[in-house]
Structure 1
Amino acid sequence: MTLERLFQINLAILYPAVILVIAAAGELGHRLGLRLRRLDRERPDLGTLTGAALGLLALLLAFSFSTSLSRFDTRRLMVLEEANAISSTANFALMLPQPAQGAILTLLRDYAGVRLNLGIPFDPRKMEREIGRSLELQAQLWQQAVAVTTTAPQSLPAHRFVASLNEMNNIHERRITALRYHVPVPVVLMLMSVAIVAMMFAGYNAGATGARRLLPHLIMAVTVGALILLVIDLDSPHRGLIQVPVQALVDAAQGIPP
């Protein structure tokens, strides 16, 4: 399994697994600390190391969350821009003569429907089919644009329609790029690694000093696991609890005249 497949794992499975791994790391550290205490060996003060590991974990969590939230906002903005571009293209199409006007509006309705369902529900093969269908509809729209500008090369509405269609195509590429790219998987793996090390230090220190409390360690594991999954969820549109709203595309599709 490649690293990118991490973003395709069901979050309902991934969340308990992450919590289990982090909690197990804390338990392992605690058992090692207890063993050291029973042997009555010199107990090094791991408070500084534990604090440093937890501080590094907090820094990585903040960085990863900020990056994921930024990408989520970008995807949301792309939906809004695409909806505006489709609406503008439809408005300029209304200025064109028949029969081109009717054909273009029909193609735009189909295009808006495809873009509305892009990546929903998440399935890489379905998404590739939707991208292919989007490109087919774009090609047909450009054929109509060529026909209109050939018939009336000096027509201002035709030139405005072409400019709007070009912007719609450009937004298509930007939205696809935003959907495909995530927080780098090595960053997520580093986040998990630091969380495991920090929990091991905390458990070890508690075991060596006899100050362990089970409930706080479980709460810590659940909290860190939830934050890591929040980073993945924000960066995995249309698969988890947090989804990119597409109401703007719904409104754009409904606003295209029949």
Structure 2
Amino acid sequence: MLDSFLSYVFSSQWRVLPVCLVLLIAATELSYHCGLRLHLSKDEARKGQIGGIQGAILGLLALLLGFTFALAVQRYETRRTLVVEEANAIGTTYLRAALLPPSHQSAVEDLCRRYVEMRLNYYDAGQDPEKLDAAEEGGALIQRDLWTHAVAAAGEAPNPITATFITTLNELIDLDATRLNALRTHVPGAVWIILLAVAASGCYVSGYASGASGARSTFSSFVLPVLIALVISLISDIDRPRGGLISIKQQPMIDLQNSIAPAAPQS
């Protein structure tokens, strides 16, 4: 249940940001009023401990933010690279279709065009589960049709040229599975929980320090929570580039679609 909740919250930057803002500002405000009690008590020994604790927690928070950011960026780069690799595999499959027996060439070329369109539909679907499922099912059907043509072509012309087409088609199918796995692999939920806990603790201690000093700090009360919330929402957007400002550009696939489009009839 917790994993489902985290998946729902962190699937969109527009949900992560308000949740983090509410959590961190609430922690800061609560701790500020607790710190005021310490200020009124005139307990200087306890006040002296706050600075060290605050520095340690904020240092740990910086370390966790850096680690999580690097993890999300690594996965983002993997997904972006797979777009190029998949476009190359489809393009090579399309070109090698010309080496097949004439009875299969045009059908395979048309299937490759439809496959590219299905891939673009998948990315355009965003987070709509029905559109995503339809695009996945459509892609799987086209893969089966391509494989049927490959088997038939190998039976008609069992030679190394046909084998190169089958090798390329295998790569296309393998990349589809790799791409889906990359899209479904995200920063673990446990990392998000620890990150939020440390972020809330950092804001709590900062607010407590402001209260203990008897002077409210605008930076501790508002700027720090907002900055931390923005960084966390940015990391979640990079980790799940579908529901926010960051997306994986599909230009390689669009370029391929344009390059293999059927030639316009000459008048």
TM category, shorter:
over 0.9
Once residues 30 and 2 of structure 2 are traced to their aligned partners in structure 1, the CA distance between those partners, rounded to angstroms, is 28
C-alpha deviation, 1:216, in angstroms: 4.7
Q: Where does structure 1 lack aligned partners over 5 or more consecutive residues?
A: none
Counterpart in the other structure of 1:224: 228
- Gap change, CA 1:145 and 1:180, over 3 Å in 2: same
Counterpart in the other structure of 1:40: 42
Aligned pairs, how many?
257
C-alpha deviation, 1:217, in angstroms: 3.1
8 Å contact 2:203–2:220 — kept in the other structure? no
8 Å contact 1:119–1:126 — kept in the other structure? no
Counterpart in the other structure of 1:17: 19
Counterpart in the other structure of 2:32: 30
8 Å contact 2:207–2:220 — kept in the other structure? no
Which of 218, 221, 224 in structure 2 is aligned with 1:214? Answer: 218
Q: Report the TM-score, using the length of structure 2 for normalisation.
A: 0.91
The residue matched to 2:187 in structure 1 has which SS? coil
User: What code does the residue aligned with 2:132 have?
Assistant: M
Counterpart in the other structure of 1:143: 148
Once residues 233 and 78 of structure 2 are traced to their aligned partners in structure 1, the CA distance between those partners, rounded to angstroms, is 20
Counterpart in the other structure of 2:134: 129
Q: Report the TM-score, using the length of structure 1 for normalisation.
A: 0.94
Cα RMSD for the two superposed structures? 1.6
8 Å contact 1:31–1:207 — kept in the other structure? yes
The residue matched to 1:94 in structure 2 has which SS? helix
User: What code does the residue aligned with 1:25 have?
Assistant: A
Q: Where does structure 2 lack aligned partners over 5 or more consecutive residues?
A: 263-267
1:5-26, Cα deviation, whole Å (9 max, x unpaired): 4344442233122112111111
- Gap change, CA 1:99 and 1:5, over 3 Å in 2: farther
1:112 has 2:105 as partner: no
8 Å contact 1:4–1:185 — kept in the other structure? no
8 Å contact 1:105–1:257 — kept in the other structure? no
C-alpha deviation, 1:50, in angstroms: 0.5
1:32-88, Cα deviation, whole Å (9 max, x unpaired): 000222233455121001000000000000000000000000000010100000000
8 Å contact 1:90–1:108 — kept in the other structure? yes
1:102-132, Cα deviation, whole Å (9 max, x unpaired): 1101111111111122243122343233222
Task: Report runs of 4+ in structure 1 exceeding 4 Å deviation.
Answer: none
1:176 has 2:180 as partner: yes
Once residues 102 and 15 of structure 1 are traced to their aligned partners in structure 2, the CA distance between those partners, rounded to angstroms, is 50
User: What code does the residue aligned with 1:11 have?
Assistant: Q
**Percent identity of equivalent pairs:** 37
Counterpart in the other structure of 1:185: 189
Once residues 187 and 226 of structure 1 are traced to their aligned partners in structure 2, the CA distance between those partners, rounded to angstroms, is 17
1:255 has 2:239 as partner: no
Which is richer in helix?
2
The residue matched to 2:122 in structure 1 has which SS? coil
